[in-house]
Structure 1
Amino acid sequence: MKNSLKIAALLSITALPVVAAEHVMLEARAEVMNAAGMSIGTVTINETASGTPLVIVALTDLPEGSHGIHLHETGDCSAADFTSAGGHIAGDAEHGVFAENGPHPGDLPNAIVGADGELNLEIFNADLVIADMVMDDDGAAFIVHSDPDDYTSQPSGEAGSRIACGVFEAG
């Protein structure tokens, strides 16, 4: 019985529901590129009827394992190591869900990539203000890191190098 519950849980994670278009409005979209400059998918940030932004990640060709993923403060992926994207969108918060004054609005949960290299994830982010944090004058970027975020280390969770980046543009 326990194995069938584990299988059902895994299937529910990999078979994400399709969001009905009438419930969301696309606000921002980023085409994500790896360090070789190849497109590996998209990330969208959508406004919902409740006002809670929905981040949808659909990426391929990533290394297997756990990866920190974040929304970064500057819409610039021009540096070879993607450091041009700046730090996380921080607002007035500390980094990580384990921090007393956390998390940053740009902190997202670690993403687990399977042997197939695919990352598909939907995240509601009540701390994110799209107009002020993503679509502001200097824009924002989505970053995939080489390692998992530890959810505590300041200012960025010791998530390793930046292996993919995408700049958000108006939807």
Structure 2
Amino acid sequence: MKTLFSTAAAMLLLATPLAAQQTSQTAIANFVSKDGKANGRAALTDADKGVLIEVDVSDLPPGTWVAFHVHESGKCDHTDGHKAAGAHFNPTEVEHGFLSVTGPHAGDMPNQYVGQDGVMRAQVFNAFVSLDETDNGIRGRALMVHARADDNRSQPAGDAGDRLACAVIE
């Protein structure tokens, strides 16, 4: 019995730092609609060369493509149309868009499709960011879903339209 207890205690001690490390490598973001209602969630996982974002947001325009970005401020105030979230996250101060000469911003991500049920479900990998690194860390910033697809050219934000859903990365 003493050996079993010692083995279990050792495993618990070894697992504790791993659990703490996993916590710092993940984040959750809960979306709020332009009407102030909870309408989705994202799970973010820090990887060696970027962040994997698994997202599910409802109450969006069915059957459309929408822009999906990281914004600079972790403020999602639906009463101001989510404008408190600021501009796209752009620590390197380059142009917006995958098709621009100097872009994209670190916060630029591919457009996402909303199904006929009004739900955007996606797994997006952003290689320009990390969760916690100082220069390109996104924890404490916001994820944003816009009303239209990003044209990947127009400055400064791709002509993506209204901000429909916002989530602070916690």
TM-score, L = length of structure 2 = 0.78
Specify which of 56, 61, 64 is matched with residue 63 of structure 1. Answer: 61
Match for 1:51 among 31, 49, 52? 49
How far, CA to CA, are the matches of 1:134 and 1:28 in structure 2? 10
- 5+ residue gaps, structure 1, are 1-23
Larger radius of gyration: 2
Identity of aligned residues (%): 36
When the two chains are superposed, the root-mean-square deviation of aligned CA atoms in Å is 1.6
CA gap 1:79/1:58 in 2 versus in 1, 3 angstroms: closer
- Counting only pairs closer than 5 Å after superposition, residues 48-127 of structure 1 correspond to structure 2 as 48=47, 50-64=48-62, 65-80=64-79, 81-92=81-92, 93-127=94-128
Matched positions, count: 142
Instruction: Pick which of 58-67 and 24-33 moved more.
Output: 24-33
AA aligned to 1:91 is P
* Secondary structure of the corresponding residue to residue 87 of structure 2: coil
Taking the TM superposition and a 5 Å limit, the aligned residue runs for 1:1-171 are 26-48=25-47, 50-64=48-62, 65-80=64-79, 81-92=81-92, 93-131=94-132, 132=134, 133-135=137-139, 139-169=140-170
Write out the 4+ residue segments of structure 1 that deviate beyond 3 Å after TM superposition: none
Amino acid at match of 1:96: G
What secondary structure does 1:47 align onto? strand
State the partner residue of 2:19: none
- What's the CA shift for 1:66? 1.2
CA distance in 2, matches of 1:164, 1:126: 23
Distance apart, 1:44 and its partner CA: 2.2
Secondary structure in 2 matching 1:127: coil
* CA spacing shift, 1:79–1:36, aligned 2, 3 Å: closer
Unaligned runs of 5+ in 2: 1-21
Change (3 A) 1:122 1:30: same
The answer as to whether partners of 2:33 and 2:78 remain within 8 angstroms in 1 is: no
Quick one: distance in 1 between partners of 2:42 and 2:105? 18
Letter in 2 for 1:40: N
The amino acid of 2:138's aligned partner reads V
- TM-score for both structures, normalised by structure 1: 0.77
Shift in Å, 1:108: 0.9
C-alpha distance in 1 between matches for 2:145 and 2:129:
18
Letter in structure 2 aligned against 1:38: K
